[in-house]
Amino acid sequence: MDLVSPSAARPRTVRSFHESFYAVVRRIPRGRVATYGDVAIIAGYPRHARHVGVALRNLRENAAVPWHRVVNARGEISLRSRSDSHELQRILLEAEGVEFSLEGRIDLRRYGWRPPEYRRPTMRPPW
DNA sequence: GCAATGACGCTCT
DNA sequence: CAGAGCGCCATTG
């Protein structure tokens, strides 16, 4: 069966679960990045950062999902345990103009992306 | 059912 | 800033 434990409070399948993450990742613009944690939150599954990684790991090679635009909360490319696609990830990002520090970090304040509806509501002073 | 396993993250020192 | 420690939670064996 394709069912997943109900602990996440919403009836779903593994497929749709992962799809909700892919939908967010597809919205990350070229040359920008988002964190695993934020992708999880935006997808509606807070605290599921690890599972964003699982979803991306399960992507087919030709999938139309810009998986390389997802990095960890420190702005680093997370290492894989099985493959070495993290090397490709850096190449793809640099090809989009994303800069890395000498320590291999990306400045999230500069390249980090969040959807408009996620941004803090800019409160206009009432006077 | 239970322990181990992650492309994670936050706090504290 | 670097580490350690702990929290997190679906999946896997």
pLDDT digits 0-9 by tens, A22-56: 999 999 999 999 999 999 999 999 999 999 999 99
Q: Give, for A86, the enclosing helix (H) or strand (E).
A: helix A85-95
Distance A1 CA to B7 C1' (A): 25
The pLDDT of residue A17: 87
Distance A8 CA to C1 C1' (A): 36
Q: Is A45 exposed, middle or buried (0-12, 13-18, 19+ CB in 10 A)?
A: buried
The pLDDT of residue A76: 94
Q: Is the pLDDT of residue A124 over 50?
A: yes
- Partnered with residue A76 across adjacent β-strands are A105
Please, which positions of strand C sit below 7 A from a protein CB?
Answer: 2, 7-11
Kindly state the DSSP code that residue A71 receives in the 8-state scheme: E
Q: Which nucleotide is nearest to A47 (CA to C1')?
A: C8
Q: Strand runs (DSSP E) across A17-93, as ranges?
A: 34-35, 70-71
pTM of the full predicted structure?
0.86
Distance A105 CA to C10 C1' (A): 29
